[in-house]
Amino acid sequence: MVNIGLLSIFWPLLFIIIALFYLFRLIASLVWARRFDAENEFGHGLMAIGMAFMLAPPDFQTPGGIRWSIILFVLAALWFCTRLLLRRPLLAILLRADLGRPAPQADAIHVFMYLSMAYMLLLMSNMAFSMALPTTALNCACFVAFIFLLFSYMRAIWRNLQMARLDRLKLGADLAHALMNLAMAWMFIDMLTMTISMRVH
């Protein structure tokens, strides 16, 4: 399991707050905007809840919970992969409504994030798999990718702070993105450190 030490309470609470923030964004979009991407807001909330589960103390991470979480994140990745290919929210197709076109980059990041979360849960549930050399190489690649995304969102936060009129909802979303990418990078480097330590000993 991922060793989270003294942060075992802080991280899950932080991501529960982030999930509530995305619930607020979803409600705000329904009330104040004609066009909104409910799937996007719900998807971010789902990521935050998933991270709260992954960073919770090991007693909360039952084998059944991990297994169902893997299935859920794979299905979520397939949902956003379909959005990416169709270039439309699936909800818009089902409702036959014009909800705008999502940014391909955002949907691609969703797919990557969900698959990474499913992969991390698989690593947490199977130590033999996490010790394999190809797995270590993939963990390094994931760590680098999440560091890149972290700096990308930090740059977006900085740009938003420089604007004359501050968009608080966008700033909050960029901050939430940065925290989620920081947590994923941290989990992958923690997994790499644990794997290297076990090989040495």
What per-residue confidence (pLDDT) applies to 119?
Answer: 93
Q: Burial letters for 11-22: b for 16+ Cβ neighbours within 10 Å, e otherwise?
A: bbebbeebbebb
Question: In this prediction, what percent of the chain has a pLDDT beyond 90?
Answer: 32
Tell me the CB-side half-sphere exposure of residue 20, using CA atoms within 13 A. 6
Count of domains in the chain? 1
Residue 75 scores a pLDDT above 90: yes
Gap between the Cα atoms of 19 and 24, Å rounded: 9
Supply the range of the domain harboring residue 47: 5-200
What per-residue confidence (pLDDT) applies to 38?
Answer: 76
Over residues 154-178, the mean pLDDT reads 86
Instruction: Please classify residue 45 by burial: count the beta carbons closer than 10 Å to its beta carbon, then call 0-12 exposed, 13-18 middle and 19+ buried.
Output: buried
Residue 4 scores a pLDDT above 50: no
